[in-house]
Copies of this chain bind each other. A is one copy, B any other.
Amino acid sequence: MPDRISELHAELCKTLGSAIRIEILNALRGGEKTVRELSAALRVRQPNVSQHLAVLRQRGVVTTRKDGVNIYYGISNPKITQACELMKQVLVEQLKEGMELTRLTSPARR
């Protein structure tokens, strides 16, 4: 019986639970970018990028700014970047410990 905060928290995490969206965020660390630029940089079709951006937007992870014909997307809160950075560190540490192997063999018993 999860409470509201946990649900929002989970939604936020779920929002980051896509490799493409992670790469979008990584790309946006260097500053605002348009959909085209992202599409080109990640080599992902434009409608697909658009949809992922829509998800990120809905959760308030990215913001939009119109400039002429283009729409520039940016990261809404630097803490998002920080959180991602921490998680990446966790990953790195796991890899160092050879978790890559353990991942497949760890069901606690049997």
Contacts and interface: CB of A to CB of B under 8 A. Distances in A.
Contacts of A59: 103
A87 B13 contact: yes
Copies in the complex: 2
Contacts of A91: 5, 8-9, 12
Interface string A79-110: 11011101111110110000100110011110
Contacts of A64: 108
A26 interface: yes
B106 A77 contact: no
Contacts of A80: 87, 90
A99 B88 CA distance: 27
A83 B87 contact: yes
A104 to B, nearest CB: 9
A58 B106 contact: yes
